[in-house]
């Protein structure tokens, strides 16, 4: 039970990678606070996970909601040990079709939201001189050509840069900050993007999936659990001397 007694707050935890993280953290003995913007999904996931689980509905791109979310979780469990900034949005869009509305929607959650979530979490951690912050970035932020759109890639590049800046700023408080860069991962969001691509090209899903896998050296997509296991490691004492890093979990797609 590597996280016994630790309180972990995960944004965007009602589905996909966030839900896999929640389950993995709970298995390791953590008190898990699940966040999502959909209150019904949050309630259902809390009921499903059981144990020492707490749900908080909030918009991870809204500063008032962020403050309320972190305050509520810290008050409920008495502390906040691990903050996982996982909430994110995207959709497939060609480079020349990106407009201001899409850019702002993506960056509001993926970049602004991540910064203010980690900053607010740090305010809880600094007085206790300990804490772990984990950001979900993406290999899109490292230049992966198969990204859903350029705005998304830019937002994830921002997460990678923020991870380094936060790690430097918070190291003196014994707070580590790292990010995980997933590659092609089998989630509802990715499935929706591939379905749209299949419709656009007039191909079946098997072809689209085969094409996505063909460039992965290890020969398979991530499952959400692959990302969750990396998050558990980064949240544990085994990673106490790792900070400022952005770690790819992608089967070898981006080797840097």
**Model confidence at 208, in pLDDT bands (50, 70, 90)?**
confident
The per-residue pLDDT of the chain, averaged, comes to: 95
| 144 is a catalytic site residue | no
225's tokens: 């659990």
Q: Which of 113, 152, 212, 235 is catalytic?
A: 152
Closest CA to 135 of 75, 66, 92, 82: 82
pLDDT tens across 176-203, in order? 999 999 999 988 877 777 788 888 888 8
Q: Strand 246-249 and strand 31-36: pairing?
A: unpaired
Instruction: Tell the residue number behind the tokens 């009921």, with chain if given.
Output: 47
pLDDT tens across 22-69, in order? 999 999 999 999 999 999 999 999 999 998 999 999 999 999 999 999
E-only strand ranges, the chain: 7-10, 31-36, 53-57, 82-85, 131-136, 175-182, 246-249
233 SS3 class: helix
Q: What is the mean pLDDT of residues 99-125?
A: 98
What are the structural domain ranges in the chain?
A: 7-184+223-248, 186-221
Q: Which residues of 39-75 are buried (b: 16+ CB within 10 A; e: fewer)?
A: eebbeebbeebeeebbbbbbbbbbeebbeebbebbbe
82's tokens: 């691990």
Are 58 and 68 contacting, i.e. CB atoms less than 8 angstroms apart? yes
Options 3.40.50.300, 3.10.310.30, 3.40.50.720, 3.40.50.920; which CATH number does 7-184+223-248 get? 3.40.50.720
Are 35 and 24 contacting, i.e. CB atoms less than 8 angstroms apart? no
């Amino acid at each position: 039970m590597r996280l016994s007694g630790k309180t972990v707050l995960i944004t965007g935890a009602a589905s996909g990678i966030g839900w896999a993280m929640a389950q993995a953290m709970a298995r390791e003995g953590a008190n898990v606070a699940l966040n999502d913007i959909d209150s019904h999904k949050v309630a259902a996931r809390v009921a499903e996970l059981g144990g020492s689980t707490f749900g908080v509905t909030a918009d991870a791109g809204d500063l008032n909601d962020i403050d309320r979310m972190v305050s509520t979780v810290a008050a409920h469990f008495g502390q906040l040990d691990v903050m996982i900034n996982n909430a994110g949005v995207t959709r497939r869009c060609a480079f020349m079709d990106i407009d201001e509305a899409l850019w702002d929607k993506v960056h509001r959650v993926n970049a602004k939201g991540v910064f203010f979530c980690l900053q607010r979490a740090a305010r809880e951690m600094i007085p206790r001189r300990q804490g772990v912050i984990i950001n979900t970035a993406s290999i899109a932020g490292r230049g992966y050509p198969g990204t859903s759109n350029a705005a998304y890639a830019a937002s994830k590049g921002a997460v990678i840069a923020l991870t380094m800046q936060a790690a430097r700023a918070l190291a003196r408080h014994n707070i580590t900050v790292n990010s995980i860069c997933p590659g092609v991962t089998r989630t509802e969001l990715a499935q929706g993007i591939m379905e749209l691509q299949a419709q656009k090209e007039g191909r079946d899903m098997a072809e689209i999936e085969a094409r996505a896998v063909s460039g992965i050296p290890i020969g398979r997509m991530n499952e959400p659990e692959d990302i969750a296991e990396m998050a558990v490691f980064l949240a544990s004492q085994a990673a106490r001397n790792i900070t400022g890093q952005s770690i790819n979990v992608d089967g070898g797609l981006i080797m840097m």
